């Protein structure tokens, strides 16, 4: 039996993400991807059922890696400030290591395709995060809030900063770059907001 070429598999994923980030989902095609990855179009259909499946699998894989990184070193009993700081640090680390991956997720996050990915995240990581938040509330380190309110305060500002950086552009500044100080400052504001 012939063996699967793992390098080829990785190259396909890499090029697909690169293409989608740089040209958008509608500038992305199976034939262009095949050419970019030095592979026959038919090969793509060995790895993926169809175009939609390719995108979903890609999103699932990247999301899982991002969530795993974000929860590295987390345990549900951590203090709220420490736990949130750790998650921010982990996410920033991931962003600087794999900026295209983050942009890729941001780009497909609001598409119908992403629904199943979200379910997957909830299933795999909802437990740890749910417990962390629950414990923090019980210890009085975090206001009791609807989860959505919590999530919107806890992470949306970070992602907005990342977006500004990724597009090198903000409402006030046409060549914006994120700094560690900025992230730290924003995190402090978030913690201030969420503490009782």
Partner DNA sequence: TGCATAAGTGAATGAATATTCATTTATATT
Partner DNA sequence: AATATAAATGAATATTCATTCACTTATGCA
Interface ranges with its own copies (CB under 8 A) = 22-26, 28, 103, 106-107, 110-113, 115, 118-119, 121-122, 126, 129-130, 143, 145-149, 151-153, 155-161, 163-164, 167, 169-174, 176, 178, 182, 185-186, 189-190, 192-194
* Closer to its own copies by Cβ: residue 38 or 152: 152
* Closer to its own copies by Cβ: residue 49 or 118: 118
Integer CA distances (angstroms), 107 to 10, 67, 147, in order: 21, 17, 24
10 binds DNA (CB under 7 A): no
Query: 157 near 186, Cβ under 8 Å?
Result: yes
Residues 6+ away with beta carbon under 8 Å from 97: none
Angle subtended at Cα 185 by Cα 179 and Cα 190, rounded to the nearest 5 degrees: 130
Q: Measured between alpha carbons, how far is 146 from 144 in angstroms, rounded to an integer? A: 7
For residue 44, the partner it binds in its own copies, DNA, none, with Cβ less than 5 to 8 A by kind, is DNA
Interactions with DNA, residue window 103-142 (CB under 7 A): none
């Amino acid at each position: 039996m012939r063996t699967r070429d793992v390098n080829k598999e990785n190259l396909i994923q890499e090029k697909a993400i690169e293409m989608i980030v740089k040209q958008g989902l509608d500038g992305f095609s199976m034939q262009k991807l095949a050419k970019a990855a030095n592979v026959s179009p038919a090969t793509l259909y060995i790895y993926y059922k169809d175009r939609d499946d390719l995108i979903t699998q890609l999103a699932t894989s990247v999301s899982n890696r991002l969530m795993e990184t974000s929860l590295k070193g987390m345990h549900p009993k951590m203090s709220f400030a420490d736990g949130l700081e750790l998650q921010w640090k982990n996410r920033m680390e991931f962003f600087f290591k794999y900026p295209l991956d983050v942009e890729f997720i941001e780009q497909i996050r609001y598409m119908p395709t992403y629904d199943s990915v979200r379910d997957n995240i909830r299933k795999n990581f909802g437990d740890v995060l749910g417990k962390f938040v629950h414990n923090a509330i019980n210890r009085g380190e975090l206001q009791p809030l609807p989860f959505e309110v919590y999530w919107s305060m806890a992470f949306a500002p970070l992602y907005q900063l990342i977006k500004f950086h990724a597009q090198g552009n903000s409402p006030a500044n046409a060549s914006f770059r994120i700094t560690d100080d900025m992230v730290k400052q924003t995190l402090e504001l978030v913690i201030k907001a969420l503490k009782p």
